Structure 1
Amino acid sequence: MAQTTTQTDHGDSNPTFRTEELAAQKVALWGRMLALAVIAILSTILAPWPGPLMYYPVMVLFVLLGIGAYRAERAPWRREWHRYAFVFADFALLSFVLLYPNPLIPFDLPPQYSLRFGNFIYFFVLLAVLAYLYRPGVVLWGGVSAALSWSIGVAILASLPGAITAPPVGEDREVLLQTMADPHFIDLGVRLQEVIVLLLTAGLLALAVSRSRAIALRQAALASERTNLARYFPRKTVDLLATRTNPLSQPREHQAAVLFADLISFTNWAEDRPAQETISVLRQIHELLADTVFRHDGTLDKFIGDGLMATFGTPEPTDRDAVNALTAAVEMADVFRLWKESKQGTDAGDLELAVGVHYGTIILGDIGTSRRMEFAVLGDTVNVASRLEQANREIGCRCVVSTALVEAAEAESPAETATALARLHRHGPLILRGRSASTEVLMLE
């Protein structure tokens, strides 16, 4: 048995992480919608009427930008710069809305007075939404975009006629207070403080997102590893291997069933056929056989050319290993016969399936080096099962099982074993290659 354990370098191409990333973006979109709805309610309550009428179309625009970014992320034509363009558009639009005087507000106020409303805090709402995307670079870009667009807007307001950007020097306290109370006054120190705090927040948030991304990638890698394990093991075995530390580091012996399946006449059949047809047929057969193994809680050890090796009772034995192996062997022969009679199997020609199964003591554990480990099943039981599969050619049948397997299956489930035995016939003792003692077997013709 040879399941090779290697460490894979996981990144953005990991399909599990990509799925999680898209799911997170969907959550971010819904969070954005909820935030906009709350802001719309606040605007309706706090802004003098009919001032809110200007904000509603802008909020619709924010909704469209969010949907556009979400759809672009899922589109096959997406590019890396698309998400950065949408982020910049978000913060540029927000800066415009916060700094441009609302013409619907029924007060005659200078443009600079828009800085007195404390609306800068809305930048942090958009910044928080970006944290859902698992992209620290995007979060940083959001902070830079906000700082840049806000600074440009403040600079434009400061350049307008009548703008006051510095209090008079050397004047008394009353003059200073009057200057600061002037609606044309812009406190550049406060504006600088806003930008620096925003950039610091973006940096800290990017660090947190980077950490979250690393954790998400690690979880995605583990999920991929479990998926890969599920290609070889039944689900309960995958859970065992995934939740225990070095579950197979200590070699051990226990009872298990070993099954070998192989195609008869495959070499002759494939000799004159194109490679594409050969691989296609082989994949279909492998899928049929592997599905049968998994359906009966077996472990797929490996594909051996046009055949496979499977075990029942690894890495942990159960009270149904023998009956599962016996039932799987009979079903495997039937499934292959049905496939040959189907439309898909019309090109199978003289191909036949040979199955051999034995039950006994196996040696189970990791072999190899610290850099490359293999999960191995060894022992005489494996050798006997392989010889039984080869015996199909000698006695002209489709499946050969040992009486040791049948006796163990009867002890586990007499009823299920009886159903399988109704299909099998005793052949008598066989002298297997490489063994001096005979082996009692049953066969399926």
Structure 2
Amino acid sequence: MDKSGPAGVSSIADMSLAAEELAAQRTALWGRVLALLMIAVLITIVTPWPGPLFYYPLLVVFVLLGFGALLAERARIPWLRYVFVTADFALLTFTLLYPNPLIPYDFPPQFTLRFGSFIYFFVLLAGLAYVYRPMLVLWGGVSAALSWTIGIAWLVNLPGAVVQAPTGQNREELMEAISSPYFVDLGVRLQEAIVLLITAGLLALAVSRARAIALRQASLASEKTNLSRYFPRKTVELLATKTNPLSEPREHMAAVLFADLVSFTGWAENRPARETIGVLREVHALLAETVFRHDGTLDKFIGDGLMATFGTPEASDRDAVNALAAAVEMADVFRNWKQSRAGSDAGQLELAIGVHYGPIVLGDIGSDRRMEFAVLGDTVNVASRLEQANREIGCRLIVSVALVEAAMAENPDDTKAALARLKKHGPLSLRGRSATTDVLMLQ
């Protein structure tokens, strides 16, 4: 299935975001482990011995819940993520409100509210912000507020609980109620739950914004990946960073290369479609990789051949040299492939290549509904005719003297290395052209 269209880009972006979410879950797990280690040290310091022995197993359970959340993310089971979040905050509520039986002080359960431990809820809530899921953050806030409310309700309903201070003017009675270890200030507890929900909402908004940015970046990355299938890296950067870089047609010098499998249509006539496509994909991959290796642009695949350009959309000082080197290497790469397939009929195929250098016109053509990057001009026509002329004179590669002269001007040493492989040929009369074209060839 083609993933290069808008739906494909969206799918790739979603997959990229899913990978980022899994990586974020791993980060959240290690952050949790580090935070719990620090909390373990803090508990060891501030909690009278042997009180820490009650908390250590609970910290281990928190770590296990973190691993469970990671496994749920890997399994892509949405509801299971919410279960682990709920379990997190339920366990935290139990840890904070249930009296530590190992602490050597006889305090009622309500007295645990005096320790200010509620702030640990924000540690867990902050950990949810890693995973790019605003709804999970909101659910965390709701779970935390609900768990805390249930825990407070339990404390309020214990024997001896004091939940309301006297409303009279007796200051001593008021102070006595507030200072009672059984006192539960419901107003403060309500504020805590509301602040927790507000914080969760703000975090969810921030996570939603981060998720949108991550999706946008993933889409851009997938689009650049698609572009890299056709253009060299420097061209991809140009297309990705400039708005409508090809909207205005322009003309400059460039090299154009055509390559085509000779008699492929007849070869494929009586062969299974799977074999035909397999061979074509192998050859296209080899040729395209050669183009990219020499900073060329894959303009299009044309049936069993291709068109490539060197110097589009931006010209460089090595376009002719790159085109010449790519053409010679392409002929060698294909011959090596033929030798590897010597035991099959595919080894009988031949490749014809033609390259020319000259002025080209490039820009977007089409309509607002369907645009296409196009390279036009006489240089394109000449390169195509040179590729076809291989069949007439019995060779594998034909390059124009204009290309060789331009390459010599760019880099004489690299050009001489390629010329050592080529032979001169008399002027060619190309179909549709009145003037002859001086060429060199590789047999």
**TM-score, normalised via structure 1 length:** 0.94
Pick from 73, 78, 81 the counterpart of residue 80 of structure 1: 78
Distance 1:128 1:441, change over 3 A: same
Shift of 1:432: 1.2
Match of residue 54 from structure 1? 54
Distance in 2 of aligned mates of 1:305 and 1:104? 80
Deviation at 1:7, TM superposition (A): 8.6
Q: Which runs of 5+ in 2 are unaligned?
A: none
TM superposition shift of 1:427 = 2.0
Superposed CA offset, 1:6-36 (max 9, x none): 6976368533323332332222222212211
The residue type paired with residue 97 of structure 2 is L
Separation (CA, whole Å) in 1 of partners of 2:202 and 2:317:
55
CA distance in 1, matches of 2:405, 2:321: 9
- Three-state SS of the structure 2 residue aligned to 1:109 is coil
Kindly indicate whether the alpha-carbon contact (under 8 Å) linking 1:6 and 1:372 is maintained by their aligned counterparts in 2: no
Native 8 Å contact 1:12 1:18 kept in 2: no
The aligned counterpart of 2:388 is 390
How far apart are the structure 2 equivalents of 1:225 and 1:336?
Answer: 30
Find the aligned partners of 2:343 and 2:285 in 1 and give their Cα distance: 13
User: Structure 1's 285 and 203: CA in aligned 2 closer, same or farther, altered over 3 A?
Assistant: same
> Which residues of 2 match residues 317-356 of structure 1 at below 5 A?
317-343=315-341, 346-356=344-354
- Residue matched to 1:281: 279
Counterpart CA distance in 2 for 1:415 and 1:129 is 60
Alignment of 1:126-165 (within 5 A): 126-165=124-163
Matches within 5 A, 1:120-269: 120-170=118-168, 172-269=170-267
When normalised by structure 2's length, the TM-score is 0.95
Offset at residue 207 of structure 1 (A): 0.5
Q: Does 1:107 align with 2:105?
A: yes
Runs (4 or more) in structure 1 with deviation over 4 Å come to 4-9
Assess, with a 3 A threshold, how the Cα gap between structure 1 residues 345 and 399 changes in structure 2: closer, same or farther. Answer: farther
Deviation at 1:170, TM superposition (A): 3.7
Post-superposition offset of 1:167: 2.5
> Using CA pairs below 8 Å that are at least 6 residues apart, which structure has the higher relative contact order?
1
Structure 1 residues 149, 159: closer, same or farther in 2, change over 3 A?
same
Query: Which segment is superposed worse, 26-35 or 108-117?
Result: 26-35
The change in CA–CA distance for 1:345 and 1:331 in structure 2 (over 3 A counts) is farther
Change (3 A) 1:316 1:267: same
Counterpart pick for 1:312 among 310, 313, 316: 310
Partner residue in 2 for 1:21: 21
Q: Which amino acid aligns with 2:66?
A: G
Select between 153-162 and 104-113 the one with higher mean Cα deviation: 153-162
CA contact (8 A) 1:158 1:165 kept: yes
Provide the rounded CA distance (Å) in 2 between the counterparts of 1:173 and 1:191. 23
RMSD (Å) for aligned C-alpha atoms: 1.9
**2:434 match: secondary structure:** coil
| 8 A contact 1:164–1:184 mirrored in 2 | yes
Q: What's 1:380 paired with?
A: 378
The correspondence for 2:426, drawn from 428, 432, 437, is: 428
Measured in 2, the distance between the counterparts of 1:180 and 1:11 equals 59
Number of residue pairs matched?
440
Identity of aligned residues (%): 73
Q: How far did residue 344 of structure 1 move?
A: 8.9
Corresponding residue SS for 2:426: strand
Distance across 1 between alignment mates of 2:290 and 2:214: 34
Cα deviation 1:24-60 (Å, max 9, x = unaligned): 2222222212211221121111111111111111111
Change (3 A) 1:12 1:65: farther
The change in CA–CA distance for 1:12 and 1:99 in structure 2 (over 3 A counts) is farther
Specify every segment of 5 or more residues in structure 1 that has no aligned partner in the other structure, as ranges. none
CA contact (8 A) 2:428 2:436 kept: yes
Distance between the aligned counterparts of 2:54 and 2:13, measured in 1? 43
Q: Does the 8 Å CA contact 1:259/1:355 hold for their aligned counterparts?
A: yes
